[in-house]
Chains A and B, each alone.
Chain A
């Protein structure tokens, strides 16, 4: 089974600054999908960004971008111009292209945004 590792249990960033959350994964597959989900205190999972492994270009969504390094099996999330509303748990997730559509989540990183 694929393993998703988020090595930062907690991160802190000042408002308007930039923060990077790390994620590594272990797989023998060449085709797969990677996701970052946000879980605010309401506990509603919100898709932040996704990346198809066959695409070399890093995905971006407004203030959110990823650094996808396929050879290194690394998928970090960069949040620019951090806002108070960005405070949440962030989960990195892997989805195989071969074995169903279930997501395999990392343990999460709790992001604190300070004024």
Chain B
């Protein structure tokens, strides 16, 4: 099946620094990628939808200047948490939608990134 690679799996950073998380579709082209955030023992909350070659669409309440998303190619989307603070500590998960329409309603998920801000 389709594979989505997310890197890094765990990152610890100091408050005020920026962290970049990569999401790659390894064996398919992803027109659209999604970024979710998951707090401990809670559900996944959509942060933004990332479309290749265009600006990301952010959900209400998500600071676009705080969470920078770039989808420069059909296989790579990045999420940069700028000037990270302890409240940004969370589990971030990406998913990708296969460009091929016949399987278009299936999203493939990365393994997630645990961000800890000290």
Binding site for B on A (CB under 8 A): 33, 37, 42-47, 50, 52, 91, 95, 100-108
Number of A-B contacts (CB under 8 A): 50
Q: Does B46 contact A (CB under 8 A)?
A: yes
Interface-lining segment among B15-23, B62-70, B76-84, B91-99: B91-99
Query: Which 4 pairs show the lowest CB-CB distances between chains A and B?
Result: A45-B109, A105-B43, A107-B43, A44-B111
Q: How far is the CB of A68 from chain B (nearest CB, A)?
A: 15
A108 and B91 contact, CB distance less than 8 A:
no
A95 and B43 contact, CB distance less than 8 A:
no
Interface residues on B, range: 20 to 34
Chain B contact surface mostly? strand
Of the candidates B32, B42, B93, B109, which one forms a contact with A101 in the assembled complex, judged by CB atoms under 8 Å apart?
B32
A91 and B109 contact, CB distance less than 8 A:
no
Of the candidates A37, A43, A102, which one forms a contact with B46 in the assembled complex, judged by CB atoms under 8 Å apart?
A102
Q: Which residue of A lies closest to B32 (CB)?
A: A101
Known: A44-B109, A105-B45. 15 other contacts (CB 8 A): A44-B111, A44-B112, A45-B93, A46-B109, A50-B106, A52-B105, A95-B105, A101-B34, A101-B104, A101-B105, A102-B34, A102-B49, A103-B95, A104-B46, A108-B43
* 17 A-B pairs whose Cβ atoms sit less than 8 Å apart in the complex: A33-B105, A42-B111, A43-B91, A44-B111, A45-B44, A45-B93, A47-B106, A50-B105, A100-B32, A101-B34, A101-B49, A101-B104, A101-B105, A102-B34, A103-B44, A105-B44, A105-B45
